[in-house]
Amino acid sequence: MGTVLRSCGSRPWLSKRPFMTISFVCGAFIFLGVSCLLAESSLSPVSTHAPELPANALGDHSSSTGGNDTVQDGKRWAVLVAGSNEYVNYRHQADVCHAYQILKKGGLRDENIIVFMYDDIAFHTRNPRPGVIINKPNGDDVYDGVPKDYTGSEVNADNFYAVILGNKSALTGGSGKVVDSGSNDSIFIYYSDHGSPGILGMPSGDFVYAKDLIDVLKRKHEAKAYKSMVFYLEACESGSIFEGLLPNNLNIYATTASNAKENSWAAYCPVDYNPSFPSEMYDTCLGDLYSIAWLEDSDKHDLRKETLGKQYEVVRRRTAAAVLEYSSHVMEYGTRSRRNDSLFSYVGTNPANDNYTSAEDPSPPSTLRVVSQRDADLLHFWNKYHKAPVGSREKVEAEKQLLDEISSRQHVDNDIDHIGKLLFGNDNSSKVLETVRPTGQPLVDDWDCLKIIVRTYEKYCGPLSKYGRKYMRAFANMCNAGINLEQMVSASIQTCPITPPA
């Protein structure tokens, strides 16, 4: 493999072109397409939405005043979730730590900020600055002071739901902090992780399924346990979490890094992507494009003067790119009348920004090279290989990691292709599995069926990897086409060699 890589130059699959294909030799040629781009804000994608209640029917926080974590007669609450682990996913925990610093400077108390993070990157052996997490090149430490409410295996869907609902008895481990909110309180939820159609990842336990999450939010609304809620979501296909599921009368305003069928993008990636990268040579991406857009916008503005809608437009412009195929559409869902609320109502504001004079000017985009969230781990493994000394054990291990990941991806691709052909025939398989439902419809009609199909696949073919989760739409389409448990079991047994445990 070393000879092949050297023959391609020092960085064979990092290119200034939007798309480049490389091959690795390991007994046979393995082809992998990796997309990267120069992200600019020249597009203005437009989303469509259902009619909503007028703003005056739901109340408005845009004129709220108050200090610390209070807004009018209520409090501000925040839930921050990094839904991944491992150093390769550094950026998700960095995003969440950065969000905490904004909330803390904004006046929220730790007792009202609940943080989910695996906490395995700050002191990781590959971190060039032990005990420090940064969210951009040469950035400040965002790890300092972050509460460790739920870490390790405590970062799971059940605890996430329990925290939102204020249900302490349903918690497993952790600090015990929950959103113990009342009818006049505001809630801010920020989630950064890998996603796929209809699901969000968690490092432990089951996925966060869109229908389950929306049901939790509905229960919170029925309990009259908040006045208004904002949900910022960073993940691939993140629009699928709310599309056709989040009603417009729950007083919840949500924005997502992408629509229901697009990747989202990792940013501030290693030196081959960004010449200004710090000298310590991080070999992983430090942030995500949608996330750094709202975080860096919040860092510098007087948030009493900036509305949710204004920030949405700033983030939308910065996340869009000059090449549509390699960008994502930031979307908004739910009660859009809340976009007139001030950001201050949810995240407070840093007093140091009181005299900021350019609050009304559009924020110019940073010129960034970004990589698809799903390919960020390949970039990490390549950089590990590239940096390791020639002939070292570390280089051999890094080479194996990279080739194993590529091989694993091919294996999943082949399995899904084979299952699809068994279920729908050679001619119809691709059409059925790749169908995207019209805007406004949820991913699937029967979410219980989706769970059964996924669990059946995992039983016979092994756990879905982060890459494998891209096929959640294919699984959903099996349900939409009427595939039942017996058919899926039969197709999985014929496809996969794994024998399920007795």
Neighbours of 276 (CB within 10 A): 10
Q: Are 268 and 283 in contact (CB under 8 A)?
A: no
Helix pair 157-165, 210-222: axis angle to 10 deg: 20
The two beta strands, 252-256 and 331-334, are antiparallel
Selected catalytic residue, list 194, 329, 380, 386: 194
**DSSP code, position 58:** T
Selected catalytic residue, list 236, 269, 285, 461: 236
- HEC profile of 331-394: EEEECHHHHHCECHHHHCCCHHHCCCCCCCCCCCCCCEEEEEHHHHHHHHHHHHHHHCCCCCHH
Q: Are 404 and 303 in contact (CB under 8 A)?
A: no
Q: Judge whether 92 counts as a catalytic residue.
A: no
Residue showing tokens 């119809």: 428
**199: β partners:** 196, 209
Element (H, E) at 423: helix 393-424
Q: Judge whether 236 counts as a catalytic residue.
A: yes
Q: DSSP letters along 80-122, please? A: EEE---SGGGHHHHHHHHHHHHHHHHTT--GGGEEEE----ST
Active site residues: 194, 236
